[in-house]
Every structure is written in C-alpha cells, then in structure tokens.
Structure 1
C-alpha cells in the first residue's frame, strides 16, 4: 500500500508505537515477499568511500533499528547501506516515555530516547542471523550510568564485539540524550578517545585479517572553532570518515509548536540548513583528508543533492522516512545520480 495512504493511520498512533508497528509491518512484508514487489529497484549509483563500493550513496541513519532486528526488511528498501544502533555494552531501557514527539507542520521530530537498546550481545546475535549482504554500519555508544571519564571503556567493549560483523563502525559522541556525552567532542577528550579507538582498530585488524573503518558522528551545534578542532583531530588520528550531523538542541523554527519545547534532539526539516552548514565548514577544514556522510533534514532529492554539493560523499536519512516513506530513498539516489553521471 502506498505510504501516503498509510501515513494518516500511523500518525493517529503515538510516535514510538507507530515506529514499532511500521517496522513489524516491514518485517512481515519481507517475510512473505511483498516488499520487493512494491518497492522500486534500487537506483544504481556506485560510490566508493572508505575503500568500499556502495551501490548507491543513500543510507539509513542509526536510530531506526537500534538492535538490528529489521536488517533484512530494511535491506529491501533500496538503501545503498544501512546503519544500526546506537548500541551500548549493557542493555538499558532509555528515558521514560513519552520520549518521541512529531512536529507535523514542521516535518520534524523531537526525541529523547536515551540509547534504549538490548545491549551489544543481542545486536551481534541479530546480525549473525541476518541474511543481508550489503554494507552494514554499526553505531556504538556508552551506557548512561558509565562515568564520562570511563566512556572509552564502553566504546572499546562495543568495538571489540561488533568489529567482526560490521562494514564500518560509527562512534556516537553527539547524542544530546545521554548526560555529558557531547563533552567527548571537546579537543583533549576527543583526542584521547580517538587515540584509544585507533589503537584498538589496528589490533582488531591484525586479529581478524580485515580492516574495518571507523566513523565519528558529530553534533550540528558546534561552532566554527569547534568544527576546526574536530577536523584537526580526525586527521591526526586517521579516522576514516565523519558523519555530520546528529540531532540539534536548537528550537529555531519550531517555537510555535505545542511540543516545540520538549527536551531532546530535534531532527527533520528544521535541522537541514544547520547540518549543511556544518558539512560545508567541515569539508573546507578537512580538505579531502577523509569523507563526510551528510545527514540532517533530508526530505527530498534536492535536499540530498544539497548535502553532496556541501561536501558529503554519502547521505543518510531517518526522519524523512517518517514523513515521506520508502520512495524517499529512490528519489534521493536518483537525484544524486543525475549530478554525478
């Protein structure tokens, strides 16, 4: 059934309920073979990034499938790659409900999920069961009750456990919903974290005979000086990619909305310009040293192209899928292909 016909019914449900209903429906449609029948064939736009060839440059951002429970179904939607997580070493329930809010007239979402997930061991179990053969990113974080000064330990635990199963690993230090997490973006703490991760990456590459790239996910709320500092440390520690950006704490443009003052990270259309600006500054600071994945406010093919023109090599979508449905993937991939070929 075309998504525009389904959406009004989903939007009658609480956002988190609609999320689970949608993903359950996708799993069912995959299991009975309906998804491939109704979803257009993936657009071919091969893009080589981090030493891997992506069939097209449009990926699914982390957050939609936190535990890797829906990988095969999501793989039917035409994505060039899928990122699952954020995962933490131990299971945790996340923040109290309600913790997700639609701002429909602004095509936006505010969430304060708080890294709710079933723990890294459960995610690995789900990945091992999956039949998906495409590029799979795994996004890792820290438990909410791990002191910030011991955050590195959590990231290393997750990296050790997911390394064998990931095409690349994303280090999430930019969620606004885990206390003090964004502190890790500060210069000295970021250097310590990246140095430890890079050392462990090399040890794991030697152990498994396979190099798995590392990406860092940053916030859209960094100023120009902070963007420059992050870029310098990404280059210094030879990190393989950067994802820009996560959700924003800003409420510019949604102040009028009944849920506009809810705590959490804002995503969707209102973050588009802010995310693109960070990408543009980051691209200038990096000067081609490593690739950028652009994410934030992509609700059309033109939005995806904007990210590419700003300096991104790949893009990711999430909130746009809530408002536009699976056709957004094909539209974005086709739009990017039209400027590349």
Structure 2
C-alpha cells in the first residue's frame, strides 16, 4: 500500500471514536500497511542539528506512538526523525475514556489522556528489539507518574535507562493532563531537574507549553541554556480556547492541538528565537498541516518541525507532500539549504 492510498482510507477511521481509530492506525502501521516514502528525496532539506544528521527537518511528535510499537514503519513514511513516548517510570492507565475529541470543523484535537503508557520496562524492551541502525534519529519523550513522582529523581533515572537506545531525550514538563506537571516549568523547579541530570551521552531537550507569558518564557530559556540543554520544543498543547472554535467538542477539558494552536505556538517560537539567537536548537510543533506552515515555523526559528494532529487528519501522504512543498519554497526564496532559512523572520 502507498502512503497516498493509506491516506485515502483515513476518513474511514473517523467513523470510529478517536482513540479506537488511533489504536487501529498503530496496528496497521505495525503491519506495514501504510507504505513507504523517501526521507532523503531533497538534498536541500538535509541538516545537522544538535550534532545529529537529519535527512529532512520533519518529525513526528511524541504522543502518537507512546509505547514505541510502530517506530520503524513510521520512520519509513519519510519522516526525518521520530519521537516516541511519553513514557513514565511505571505503567499508568491515564484518565477515563472518552479522552480524545476531534474538532473537525477547526482541524483540531482536544486530549486529556494523562500520560497513559505501558511504562519504562515495556518501552525499553521495544527499543532494544529495533533493528539497528535505524533509518532516522529516534527521540524519547519522558514524563513522571501522576502519583509518587519525585521529578529530580525520576527524570534523571529515565534518562539513564533510555539514553543508550535513542538519539535524544525530551523532558516533558508541559502536558496539561498530569496535575502539577506544568509547575515544573518554573525557573526554580526546572533548574532543580536539570541540575540533577547525569552527564549527557545524548542531547537533552525540554518541551514547554504555549501558555507561558514572555516573562516566564525567557527565564526558562536561560535556565535551559545554562544547563546545556540542546533544544527546546515549542510547544505542547494549549489550555486556551480561542473564540473562533466552532466544533461541538470545543468545551471539553484537556489540551488543544492542531490548527487553532498554529499562530500561538509560532509566535512563541519567534520570541524564543529572538532571545536565544541560535544558541539552542528550537523545534516547532503546533498546527502544522502544510508545507507553508512548516516553512513558517522554520522561518520563525525552528531547526526542526514536528507533526501530530495534521498527520492524524491527513494520513501518511501528508509527509511527502510537505517535503516536496518545503523544498520548492526554499528554492523559490533562494535558499540552497534549509538551515539558511531558520530564523529568517525572527
């Protein structure tokens, strides 16, 4: 099956509730039913970021493959990198269902999953079983359990366990669905976590929320740079509800992603780029569903870009479509290489 055919079948999945459809999609991917697409079709899209080599800057965000069950099939869709997780030290079921809601009129999603995952041991077993070398860099997104968490203990322990099996690790302190987690974005709390991290064998990234004020964002970025963090992912889902939302599920509790998040997350990305001046890699995520939107993230300061909701709506054909369009946009504007466009509008 080709990515285009797999995408043509994607609307059928929307006849199911969102979480059931997601489960079936992962099974289909694991069975290799989504086809393949080349990650290296455009030389202009290749880059080195955080000391890692990327065939293209387009990645799949954490949350899609929480338990690393479809890493290789997802990479074969043409992604330049993949981020699995979030994984917590112990398994946890997350919040009661229903907990994922499509906002189809707004091309958005609200989720209140609550770090549902099979836990660290199962995650490690799947990573160890992957054939090496992998076709693209692999990241792992790590979080803490809802109960019994000690962040200064748990994040370093997760890093130590997972680092030998991945290319980078993202510290998630911004999911809105674990009580108290976003408090870890505070300057003192994040400083404590990063100070407790072991010596780095792979890059550390921090994923932040789009709801931070500029007064909170800039000190957070300073803490990250002071502790040698390699990158910041901007951003996680938002708790805000724009007045423009039309979908019936707009009032559901949880984090909002997709198109309604694009402008907000891109503005924060631009602000972070102006402050950091290229001293730290930025990863843009939030509302990307086209080459133009991926390009806007890059011009705002993102060295890498991630998909989630757009991929869930459009299916595998979205990946080569964005890559082809992105290469064309770079050529149109006279950029021989994607790295030349990073921060052009910041």
Who is 1:23 aligned against?
26
**Structure 1 residue aligned with 2:139:** 137
| Residue 233 in structure 1 maps to residue 235 in structure 2 | no
2:62 aligns with 62
Q: For 1:53, what is the secondary structure of its paired residue? A: strand
Residue 71 of structure 1: aligned partner = 71
CA distance in 2, matches of 1:40, 1:51: 22
Task: Give the CA deviation at 1:3.
Answer: 4.1
Q: Structure 1 residues 212 and 104, CA, compared in 2 at 3 Å: closer, same or farther?
A: same
CA–CA separation in structure 1 for the residues paired with 2:91 and 2:7: 35
The aligned counterpart of 1:167 is 167
Question: Hey, what's the Cα distance between the residues in 2 that align with 1:284 and 1:299?
Answer: 25
For the residues of structure 1 that align with 2:137 and 2:11, how far apart are their CA atoms? Answer: 32
Distance 1:156 1:40 in 2: 35
Contact 1:255 1:261 in 2 (8 A): no
Maintained 8 Å contact 1:42/1:77:
no
The structure 2 residue matched to 1:294, chosen from 284, 287, 293, is: 284
- Partner of 1:74: helix, strand, or coil? helix
Tell me the residue number matched to 1:208. none
Does the Cα contact within 8 Å between 2:13 and 2:21 map onto a contact in 1? yes
**Alpha-carbon contact 1:168-1:215 (below 8 Å) kept:** yes
Which whole-Å CA distance do the structure 2 matches of 1:261 and 1:123 have between them? Answer: 33
Query: Offset at 1:334?
Result: 2.8
Provide the residue aligned with 2:295 in structure 1.
305
Match of 1:328 among 311, 318, 330: 318
Please identify, of 40-49 and 234-243, the stretch whose mean Cα deviation from structure 2 is larger: 40-49
Match of 2:41 in 1: 43
CA distance in 2, matches of 1:217, 1:101: 23
Contact persistence 2:153–2:196 (CA under 8 A): no
Q: CA deviation at 1:312?
A: 0.5
Cα separation, partners in 2 of 1:20 and 1:186, compared to 1, 3 Å: same
Measured at CA, do residues 42 and 104 of structure 1 come closer, stay the same or move farther in structure 2, by a change above 3 Å? farther
Gaps of 5+ in 2: 337-346
TM-score by length of 1: 0.91
**Distance in 1 of aligned mates of 2:51 and 2:27:** 34
| CA distance in structure 2 between the aligned counterparts of 1:7 and 1:142, rounded to whole angstroms | 33
CA-based RMSD of the aligned residues comes to 1.5
2:254 is aligned with 1:248: no
| Separation in structure 2 between the aligned mates of residue 253 and residue 336 of structure 1, nearest angstrom | 31
Match of 2:76, SS?
helix
Is 1:105 aligned to 2:105, yes or no?
A: yes
- Using the size of structure 2 for normalisation, the TM-score is 0.90
Range with bigger deviation, 318-327 or 103-112:
318-327
Q: Secondary structure at the match of 2:89?
A: coil
Is the 8 Å Cα contact of residues 42 and 79 (structure 1) preserved in structure 2?
no
Give the Cα separation in 2 of the matches to 1:215 and 1:57. 16
